[in-house]
Structure formats: C-alpha cells, structure tokens
A and B are shown apart, each in its own frame.
Chain A
C-alpha cells in the first residue's frame, strides 16, 4: 500500500518525468553495454583467429623473425614421449590487385591434421577417388582458400591468385576450397593455406619457418624442450598472444570505458534528482503516512524501490539500445584498432549473459546508490515538518546576501578537500600501465565542482539578475530569481549538465591540443617530397611490402636526390609488443628532420646510431620503459639476444606501444629482412613533384605495384586517421550531453508541476501564457549559462589532467596545450541551445495549468 501510494501510482501518473528518467538511465547503460559489446567483439575476433590458427597446440615455438627448420630435428627425440609438433609459416600479405590484406598459413598438409581440422568443400582432383585425389594440393603453386572467401572474391577452383608476401609477388592457383571450420574461420576467412614447402619455395623462405606448433602432453617436458629452442625464438602458450593484444588494447579500452562512465555518472545525477524531486513533491504524503504510523524504514524502502524500478527498467531498455549502438561503435573503434594496433575484422555482436548481467547490475546498482541519500532524508524527517511543507520550500536568495553562509562554507570546504586530493592523485604514477590515479583525480575534480554547484547556481543567478531584468523585464527578473529558490532541485541538474559540458570541453581541449601537436609533428617529419608505397592506404602498411630489388631501380632514376627505405615489424620487448622500425639513417640525417627530445639534433642521434650500431627510440618507449640516451636495450635477433645502445629519443605520435628505430643495414643484419614498406623520396632541386610522381608510377607501377603519394596527401591521410580515431570520443560525449539535457528537462518539468500554483498566480495577476513560457525558457537559460560557465572551468581543469597525467601515463605522448577556440565555442553554443530547448519542452506544461484549480488547491 505504501509503495502504491508513494511510488507506483505517482510513477504512472507522471509519464513524462518517468520516461525522461528511464531514458536517461537507458542511455547511460546503453553506452556502457555498447562499448563492452564492441570491445568484446573486436577482441574476440582476434583471439578466435589466434585459436583457430593455433588449433590443438598447447605450446608454440615462436619468433619475431623466421628461424631455421633445423629445430624440428632437435624436437624428434620428444616424439616417442607423446610430443607432437608441426612447422608453420604464418605471414601477413596482400592479394593483388585488390590489396585485400590476407594471412598466409604454410603448414605440412599431411602431418598438420594432428593440429587443425580441415574439411575440404571441393578440391581439384584427377577424377580418381584415392589418396592421389589430394596430390594436386601439393603442386608448387597450389593454395587452399575458405569457400566463403573464394565466393566473396569471385574465385573458384583453378583461379589464379596473386599474393604479395614480404614484397615477393607470386601467382598461385586455387586448388582447394575449405568448409568454414577450424583455421578457415580465422581472420574472418581472409586466410590462404598452402603446403609449407610450397610457401618456402614461392616466397623465398627456404629452410625457414616462423613457428612450430606443439602438443605437449606432460608439462614436465617443457624445460627439456626449452633447451632446444633457438636463441631467436621462444616457447610459450598460444594464449600469450591474446594476452599481449589484450594488454596492448587495455589503455585504449579503459579510456573508452572512462568516457562511457561519464554518461553513466550523468545518469546517476538524473536518478538522484528524480528520487529527490519525488520526495520533495510527495513530502506532504510522506508526512501523512508517517503520521498514520508508517515507519521510517518503510518510507526509506519505498523510495529506494523507486530508484530500483527506474534502474531496472532503464537497464533493460539500455541493453536493447546498447546492442544497436554497439554496431555503430564497432565500425568506429574497429578502424582505430586496425589503424593503431592489430589487424582484426570485428565479428558479429553477441549479447552474452555476462554483458546483460553487467548492464542490469550497472544500471540498477548505480540507481540504488543514487537513491540512498534522498531516501534516508525522507525517512528521517519529522512528519510535522513534512506536513507543514516547511522543508524544501522554495527559498528566495537575496541579491545582497553574503555567499559565505555556513552551508556554503561547508560546500567550499568539501570542494577544496576534493581539489587537494585531485592534485595529489595527479602526481602519482600509473598502475600497470593504466592511469588509475589520474582517473581518480578526474572523479575528485568532478566531486569538487559538484559540491560547488549550489554556490555556483546562486552566484550566477545573482549576477544574471540585473542583465536579465534590463533585457527581459519582470519576466527575466522572475526567471533569474526562480532558479536559486529551488536550489536543491536545480543545483543537481546544473551539476549534471556542468559535468557533461566539462567533460566535453576537456576532451575537446585534449583532442584539439593533440591534433595541433600531431599536425605540427607531421609537418616536421613528413618533409620529403614523395612517398612510394606498395598499397594506397596507410592502414594495411604491414601487409604490403616492396622487395629490396626496388632499391636498384630507384638508384637509376635521375631526378631522385636520395631515398630512405622504411620497414617496420612488431618485436617483443619486455614481453610487450613494440614496433621495430628501420630506415636509411644517413639519408634521414641529411635530408629529414626528426623531432628530437634528446639530443637536440636528429643528425647527431642518427649519426651516432650508425656509428655505434645503436637505435633511437620514441618518447612513448622512453617513458614506458624508463630508457634514455646512454642506456642499452636488448632485442631478440636472428643471432639471439643482442644489446643496442640508445643514441636518441624522438617524438612520435604514430604508435603508443613504443618504437625502436635502427639503421636499415643493422636491421637487415639483425633480422634478415630486407623487404621495404615505404620508400621516402627526396627529389633533386627544381624537379616538379607531380611530374616525378607520374614518372615513378609509370616506371615502377607495373613492376612493383607502386603508388606515389605526395607529402601533402600523407599529411592528409594521417589527420584523417586521427579524426576517425577520435570520432567515438565525441559520439560518447554527445550521449553524455543528451543525458544531461534530459536531466534539465526533467528538473524543469518537475519544477513546473511543483510550482503550478505559483505559475497560476502569475497568470491570474496578468502574465500571458507566452510570458510564462518565456520565463521558463529563461530559467533554463540561467541553468544553461551557469552550467556552461562551470563546465568550461571544469573542462580546463580536467583537460590538464587528461593531457599531462592520463594521456601521458596511458600512451606516453607529450602534447602541447592548445585551445581549439572554434570547436569549443561551437560545442558550448550547441549545449546552451540544447539547454534552452530543454526549457521549451516542459514550458508547454504551463499552458495546461487550470488557473481555477491551481488557485483552489492549497
């Protein structure tokens, strides 16, 4: 009965407010669910591919470079002890001319059945049903494809397929099609399988393999196996790769969840506000029920259940909404993950019981938490106070009233404590690569500003009173006076809106600063005239390569002053995957301008690297591993572990995992890899870029499938990838703003319902409906202006933490502070207009007030 009287009936009787609150929670939950779903999908795609390719192997001997297959002989003694092993060549490449990235898996098709399930859909046969049926698969140009891939690309048995693997182009023939199971499902079916001997012969890998898959029945054999592993390789479980990828993406994922958290936090404010407003509006009913004998705990439980109902319904709606949102996010973050981390085609979105449970838990628990404080307040108040309506009555603030009254002093004190804690937290180092203290500092800054919300609303309304009076007359004066009069309701709405605006400003500042920094960096680093690439885009840079033979052809071209051949690959350092880059340092020292941190001149760092067989490392590497000029780093080369002195640290924003760069000569000697991913070309003075470009493409295009791009195009491409990467950030913040605006609509609607009598009085005294509506919109403009101002201030503080603490600890990038004035001005204008619109929606309620009834009710 109590529940029906205090909660259920009012919820049903106020459909607008109920819907707005549920929508607010739903949107918050949807964002979290969507990010969890899309992360899961992106990661699952990768890990399932790894699992499908690894098959039944429980250990692998892997290396960053191809190693001699002699190790197979060393493994023979383990065969009688139940150990099974299979050599594998696992290489990335592209299909030409479509430039579709593809994975080439070279396996021993006969012995590999221990490890992987192959089910042939069809093969080229000699027409006889015998073992010889499959012999065609071992032909020196034979490859096997998943039937789905063949279908999608118009291939069938006997079709030629041009593969470019490590810069070597070969035309292979499709001689078998696989059903979609086992390895045929890896990388979304973009995989080509061939006999290992065929791969070795076709792509210049004779006598070498990249991996050995093992089935080890007894773990006690591991130390013995470890002893036969070559120096350039390591023995590990297949799951280690997934763990490394997971770790690599962790900071990125945490950042996304933190942003989703903003939407949820704003949603929490909304629930808090809704429950508080419910209590304010039903104060007298609570008083009556208490007078009739309802206990404090029953009142507490009733309002807590209200929070629970909102949370549960909002969560369920949020999960459904989140599934749709995940689809959009997946497209956005999929591109980022591919561009910055690993190649992986995200799989279909699967709503797992875990995610459903997490979504419901997040929504309901946070709603419950938000409802606790106002519920306690309602439970503890004396019935006489509630009945008289003396509590929470609209209290005017005097324009001349001193702000530092005792509740204000307490709020200021709380805010100061929060800010001090935030400062201390922002000085703490990262924990496990995650800027935990930085995120906590953000929370404390938000808490500090929220504590000041009431003071800010009062102060801003006071400041606005005179200008509003002069601009809008009595309507403006009433509007500016009205907001602080309902401080308990309005300050929470304002805090929520400030938080959303603050985060938006902070991220806009962070992204704007980052963008400007990257732009300056790109302008400095991309100083060459042309880039010659084996593929058009940047995103499949690792898959498409030139053979070293192109060097000789380039040397013959008369208009080229110099060229720098770049090649990068992933290597393990401290069990993390970092990027090992190489280039012609002598050319880079003479023609390029690498932005250095130490020493000051890039020519000095690069010259020393050549002279001492050393490396230069990126800033993120230097910060992550605390290594600088003068230190040594050890890398596993084909000759085993080798130490390289660091001769320079340079700025790099292309990679947050860390980059180690060495001269091409040293790279080839150390990793036996002379392929080229990009040729950076410097033209002789007076040579026209477009003419040179056309000439290069006509000379080298047919032979190497080479594309020449100008530095302007490269810069444009980099900035395009940058903007795509941060699209999701803006999308998430827009959601937070939507939730906050819902909060403002909710609050204003509640205020109107609560002030029916006051509004009716204004109408009786001669205010027109239009004037009342104008007043309500002006009230929301007071909230909008207040929140915008507070949000702007909060945004600057938060951006400082984002740029100098979280970003630095998560990604190791130094960013120069830059205010993107236009972006911020536009964002603020949009949110301010949104807050005005938030006033328009409930102001329609004013028209429906029945004057006689409202005046009658007391």
Chain B
C-alpha cells in the first residue's frame, strides 16, 4: 500500500486558538508500496502522531493523506473504520491485547470483525500463532503471558488478516533487548515473506536498522524528504544504525 502525505499539519486543540499545540507541521511524505519505513525521533517529536494520521486513527488539521488512491482525510468515520479493519495491522508499544479474550481470540479478532468463516479463522489464527511461536499458548489470557509473548501475540493479530499496511509504534519500547530483537526479527521476516508496507516508529537507532530506510522526525517535521533518504540494507548483517541524512 502506497502512503502519501501532502503538506500535512496537525495541532491539538487548546482552550482557544492561540492555545492550540502544533505537533506536526507541513509534512510531505511518499512511502512506496512494500517499503519498510522507519520513523525515528526522540520522545515527543511527533512520530506517534504521524503514525496515527497514517493509520486513520486521527485526522490532520490541514493537508491531505492518501493510502493508495484513497484520500483518508476525506473519509467519514465508518469508511475509516472499514479501512482500519481490512487494510491495516497495528503493533503497539504496550501490546494492547484485549484483556478479556485469550490469545487465540485476540488474534482472531480482526477476522471475527470481518465475519470470516469459522474454519478459515481457525486455520489462519493457528498459522499466525505458529509463525510467531505461540502455537502452544492459544488458550492463555494476556495476563498469563510475558511481555515478549504478548508482543508476539499482538504481531500475530496485526498480520492474521494479511493487511497491506502494518504500523508499529515503538514495538520494542516495553521489552528487554533480547525480546526486542526477537520482535524486530519477526517483523522483518513478515516483511520479507508477505511484502506489506510497514511503517515503524522508534527512538532506538538499533531498531531503526531493521527498516529499508529511516525518516527522521524532529520538532514535528521530517527531514529530509524520505524519497531522498538513504536506504539501508534490508539484511540484518548489513544493518546501518546511522540515521539517514
């Protein structure tokens, strides 16, 4: 799925106009279908907001956002919901599994919303769980899992319906380095095998090395235009931790 942002600005409303806080200013981006882009920046730089705008969770104050040919900033709430349901997979820093559902049910959630046949749900969830190494934890509840396991379950949920776009917001931010690495390997391998567009926000240089290229976010702006960003090697052996210029 191709992502295009055209002079996007976003501000959080204050008590009056003068109190509004601008988080993103005049951002233009173009991420090609099948790219693994990394949004990198310090805490508070605006990368999560940018991810929310791309993921149709929030709407820009100004400017236009396109996912393929569809301008999301023009879609109404129900179309945005459908877009998120069918085309996007989310991976969060705090895993965000639904506490009242077990692992199987959490992973099956996007398929259930799409009213997929039961047999298909079973096979696809089993496949997704096996791919993240949680085949034996299907009946466990989130509070019975470790952090790494919870994030693997969240990844399985993000990919189970085969979305063309996966958004990951600090996916390793709440994990130790060993688990963090395992998760990044997993995301990388998903990208390799299924070729979705992946946009990952992180403040970790090490994590940034897993992407095709890095888009730096600082003070609500991206520098430079990502199309001229230095691509990094897609293979872990040749990871380039150096931020793109």
Which residues of A are at the interface with B, using a C-beta cutoff of 8 A? Answer: 393-396, 398, 473-474, 477-478, 481-482, 485, 757-758, 761-769, 771, 851-852, 855-856, 858
Contacts and interface: CB of A to CB of B under 8 A. Distances in A.
B94 interface: yes
Contact of B100 (A396, A767, A768, A771): A396
What are the nearest 3 A-B pairs in CB distance?
A766-B85, A474-B112, A481-B100
Contacts of A757: 96
Contacts of A852: 49, 52, 57-58
A765 B93 CA distance: 15
Given A766-B85, A767-B113, A477 B52 contact: no
9 contacts: A393-B99, A396-B143, A482-B100, A758-B99, A761-B98, A764-B55, A852-B57, A858-B93, A858-B94
Given A474-B112, A762-B98, 9 more contacts: A394-B99, A396-B142, A473-B112, A474-B113, A481-B101, A482-B100, A757-B96, A852-B58, A855-B57
A702 to B, nearest CB: 80
Contacts of B94: 858
B193 interface: no
A768 B57 contact: no
B115 interface: yes
A770 to B, nearest CB: 8
A768 B114 CA distance: 12
Given A851-B57, A852-B58, A858-B94, A765 B105 contact: no
A216 to B, nearest CB: 79
Contact of B85 (A482, A765, A858): A765
Given A473-B112, A477-B105, A852-B49, A763 B81 contact: yes
B177 interface: no
A766 B98 contact: no
Contacts of B96: 757, 761, 855
Interface in B149-195: 157
A395 B143 contact: yes
A396 B99 CA distance: 6
A855 B57 CA distance: 9
Contacts of B77: 768-769
Interface string B92-109: 111010111110010011
Contacts of A771: 113
Interface centre among B49, B55, B57 (most CB of A within 10 A): B57
Interface in B52-104: 52, 55, 57-58, 77-78, 81-82, 84-86, 90, 92-94, 96, 98-102
A767 B81 contact: yes
A766 B100 contact: no
Contacts of B99: 393-396, 485, 758
A768 B52 contact: no
Contacts of B48: 856
Nearest to A394: B99
Interface centre among B78, B82, B109, B110 (most CB of A within 10 A): B109
B180 to A, nearest CB: 18
A478 B101 contact: yes
Contacts of B143: 393, 395-396
A765 B174 CA distance: 21
A579 to B, nearest CB: 63
A485 B143 CA distance: 12
Contacts of A856: 48, 52
Given A396-B143, A764-B90, A474 B57 contact: no
A765 B110 contact: yes
A766 B113 contact: yes
B141 A768 contact: no
Nearest to A767: B113
A555 B157 CA distance: 96
Nearest to A854: B57
Nearest to B142: A396
A704 to B, nearest CB: 78
A478 B100 contact: yes
Contacts of A761: 96, 98
A771 B110 CA distance: 13
A686 to B, nearest CB: 76
A481 B102 CA distance: 10
Nearest to B157: A765
A764 B57 contact: yes
A393 B143 CA distance: 10
A482 B52 CA distance: 27
Interface in B95-135: 96, 98-102, 105, 108-110, 112-115
Nearest to A771: B113
A396 B108 CA distance: 17
Given A768-B81, A851-B57, A758 B98 contact: yes
A768 B82 CA distance: 8
Contacts of A473: 112, 115
Contacts of A855: 52, 57, 92, 96
Contacts of B55: 764
A768 B83 CA distance: 11
Given A769-B77, A851-B57, A855-B52, A477 B84 contact: no
Contacts of A768: 77-78, 81
A766 B101 contact: no
Contacts of A395: 99, 143
A389 to B, nearest CB: 12
B113 to A, nearest CB: 5
Contacts of A764: 55, 57, 84, 90
Contacts of A767: 81, 85, 113
Given A474-B112, A851-B57, A852-B52, A765 B90 contact: yes
B82 to A, nearest CB: 8
A856 B78 CA distance: 22
Interface centre among A482, A769, A856 (most CB of B within 10 A): A856
A36 to B, nearest CB: 46
A474 B102 CA distance: 13
A651 B73 CA distance: 80
Given A474-B113, A767-B81, A396 B101 contact: yes
A269 to B, nearest CB: 24
Nearest to A761: B96
A151 B237 CA distance: 109
Nearest to B59: A852
A703 B109 CA distance: 87
Nearest to A770: B78
A802 to B, nearest CB: 39
B228 to A, nearest CB: 29
B58 A851 contact: yes
Contacts of A398: 102, 139, 141
A396 B141 contact: yes
Contacts of A858: 93-94
Contacts of B100: 394, 396, 478, 481-482, 485
A766 B141 contact: no
Nearest to B105: A477
B174 to A, nearest CB: 10
Nearest to A398: B141
Interface centre among A393, A394, A396, A765 (most CB of B within 10 A): A765
B89 to A, nearest CB: 9
B151 to A, nearest CB: 15
A146 to B, nearest CB: 68
Contacts of B85: 765-767
A465 to B, nearest CB: 10
A769 B80 CA distance: 11
A767 B114 CA distance: 10
Interface centre among A396, A761, A763, A858 (most CB of B within 10 A): A396
A517 B110 CA distance: 59
Contacts of A394: 99-100
B109 to A, nearest CB: 6
B92 to A, nearest CB: 8
Nearest to B10: A852
Nearest to B97: A761
Contacts of A765: 84-85, 90, 109-110, 113, 157
